[in-house]
Amino acid sequence: MKVILNFFKKIFSASDEGDVADLERSNSQSQVKVYSRSEHNISRSQMSENAVKVLYRLKKSGYEAYLVGGCVRDLLLGYEPKDFDVATDASPEQVKKVFRNCRIIGRRFRLAHVFFGREIIEVATFRSSDDAADNKEQKVHEDGRLLRDNVFGSIEDDVWRRDFTVNALYYNIRDFSIIDYTGGMDDHSAGVLKLIGDPATRYREDPVRMLRAVRFAVKLGFSIDESTEKPIFELAPLLKGIPAARLYDEVLKMFLSGKGIQAFEMLRHYGLFETLFPQADHCLNNEQNNFPRVFIAKALENSDKRIADDKSVTPYFLMAAFLWEAVQDLAKEKMRQGEEESFAYQHAASNVLSAQTKSISIPKRVTQSMREVWLLQLRFEKRIGGRPYRLLGHPRFRAAYDFLVLRAETGGAEMELAQWWTKFQDASDTEQKKMTRPPRKRKAKPKTKRKNSDND
């Protein structure tokens, strides 16, 4: 039975002390829907055992405990969640007292991590998102961005600071029901992503929500509600103000989801790709040259296919593909100015990477591999003598070779060159020797003996 409750402050709350703002909010958003166990398809058997343990232990210690966020959303779709997030009215310190295997982390939000071997269950205390400007625990940037947000609250506070309605569903361990304050269950059934509250304000608070909209739309196959979609076109540039360190993980999740090509198309559509990869976007906008477009699309398609086949994918390969045209353009420019080819490419690679890491802080080991993949492309041209053997032994050979094949398939390198390397790898010793032998010089015509030569 669907229970619709008119709820007032404190019905679900255990921690708040009755301030006016809360009362106003509960009056304006006064309906909560509770879906009992028989009205939804989530069962404990689908959950991580450790998450269930955490929920029960908190409950036994007298606290409220819910699964919330992506795990509830994914379980409703029958997907296996990536991780399980727990929300509770216990403070991080109280959580730490309940679990020995627990650590408090985070500055922007303080959270408790409960460790079970390699699995971590994240336990977050209900947070309030009241915009009390003088609140010491909450700090807002002048452009509206939330910098720190550590105001603890009750479940009905916690709901409103979440991003999408489908991410604000709470699975209650007390009676296995799902609590829905924002209409998330209906949106979930309709396959719609809707931001909670005024979309433009929510994007200004945290522009990463624009990337999350794209990521979830692609991952879940949901559409983005019109009011949630519209402000993105205008607000996309706000992403430039996000610290580069925060964007790397978000970008990886986006492109290594198995639906990278769709994510790419959508990011381009909303003008978000430009804020993440400005140099690549610049090359993509060159109407005379279709190569980058075809090349990047093919790289993403291949990577999606590998993920579908359960094969490994590496972030550096895709990022190297995104920026290849920019590296080439710059290297050619440097060569026109008189730099020797290999120096020109080395310098171009450094310049492109240092400009890129201003937007997204790509870890050093990743940029190093991107660089290697680019620079090895020049060495494929050298097919005589010992050089091909040395290249074959290079730790980044395989990736660089795949990159060469991709270039050849999309018109950016000679197919004959790629085929030569395909053959060379599997060739027998004798055949390899033959392939790398210098071409025979044409026999010079026998000189006709001159009579009365000076040398005679």
Phi, psi of 268 (to 5 degrees): -65, -40
Contact 145, 206 (CB under 8 A): yes
Which residue in 162, 204, 396, 407 binds ligand ATP (CB under 6 A)?
Answer: 162
Return the number of the residue (252 or 294) whose C-beta is nearest ligand ATP. 252
Which residue in 83, 130, 339, 409 binds ligand ATP (CB under 6 A)?
Answer: 83
User: Could you tell me the end-to-end alpha-carbon distance of the chain, in angstroms, rounded to an integer?
Assistant: 117
Distance CA 339, CA 333 (A): 9
Return the number of the residue (65 or 404) whose C-beta is nearest Mg ion. 65
Question: Nearest distance from residue 427's CB to ligand ATP, in Å?
Answer: 46
By CB under 6 A, residue 206 contacts ligand ATP:
yes
Which residue in 22, 64, 85, 149 binds ligand ATP (CB under 6 A)?
Answer: 85
Tokens, residue 111: 């959270």
Phi, psi of 239 (to 5 degrees): -60, -25
By CB under 6 A, residue 167 contacts ligand ATP:
yes
From the list 15-23, 96-104, 202-210, 393-401, the region that binds ligand ATP by CB under 6 A is 202-210
Return the number of the residue (81 or 292) whose C-beta is nearest ligand ATP. 81
Given ligand ATP, Mg ion, none, residue 334, with its beta carbon under 5 to 8 Å by kind, binds none
Distances from the Cα of 448 to the Cα of 422, 444, 445, 453, angstroms: 46, 12, 9, 11
Distances from the Cα of 265 to the Cα of 241, 274, 314, 391, angstroms: 23, 12, 20, 35
10 SS3 class: coil
Instruction: Determine whether 83 is an active site residue.
Output: yes
Given Mg ion, ligand ATP, none, residue 433, with its beta carbon under 5 to 8 Å by kind, binds none
Distance CA 355, CA 18 (A): 50
Residue 454 CB neighbours (<10 A)? 5
From the list 81-89, 133-141, 295-303, 432-440, the region that binds ligand ATP by CB under 6 A is 81-89
Given Mg ion, ligand ATP, none, residue 33, with its beta carbon under 5 to 8 Å by kind, binds none
89 SS3 class: coil
By CB under 6 A, residue 82 contacts ligand ATP:
yes
Phi, psi of 113 (to 5 degrees): -105, 125
Which residue in 7, 15, 65, 70 binds Mg ion (CB under 5 A)?
Answer: 70
Question: Nearest distance from residue 190's CB to ligand ATP, in Å?
Answer: 18
* DSSP string for 237-291: GGGGGS-HHHHHHHHHHHHTSS-HHHHHHHHHHHT-HHHH-HHHHHHHT-TT--H
Q: Give the closest residue to 188 by CA, choosing from 36, 5, 35.
A: 35
Instruction: Count Cβ atoms within 10 A of the Cβ of residue 453 and give its class: 0-12 exposed, 13-18 middle, 19 or more buried.
Output: exposed
The contact pattern for ligand ATP, residues 208-237, with x = CB under 6 A and - = no contact, is xx----------------------------
Question: Nearest distance from residue 166's CB to ligand ATP, in Å?
Answer: 8
By CB under 5 A, residue 412 contacts Mg ion:
no
Residue 42 CB neighbours (<10 A)? 21
By CB under 6 A, residue 180 contacts ligand ATP:
no
From the list 159-167, 227-235, 417-425, 446-454, the region that binds ligand ATP by CB under 6 A is 159-167
By CB under 6 A, residue 315 contacts ligand ATP:
no
Given the residues 89, 157, 158, 163, the one annotated as active site: 163
Residue nearest to Mg ion (CB): 70
Instruction: Determine whether 85 is an active site residue.
Output: yes
Distance CA 408, CA 346 (A): 22
Given Mg ion, ligand ATP, none, residue 188, with its beta carbon under 5 to 8 Å by kind, binds none
The contact pattern for ligand ATP, residues 36-75, with x = CB under 6 A and - = no contact, is ---------------------------------xx-----
Given ligand ATP, Mg ion, none, residue 156, with its beta carbon under 5 to 8 Å by kind, binds none
Q: Give the closest residue to 162 by CA, choosing from 186, 193, 119, 122.
A: 193
From the list 83-91, 125-133, 195-203, 204-212, the region that binds Mg ion by CB under 5 A is 83-91
Contact 31, 6 (CB under 8 A): yes
Question: Nearest distance from residue 394's CB to ligand ATP, in Å?
Answer: 35
Binding site for ligand ATP (CB under 6 A): 69-70, 82-83, 85, 162-163, 167-168, 206, 208-209
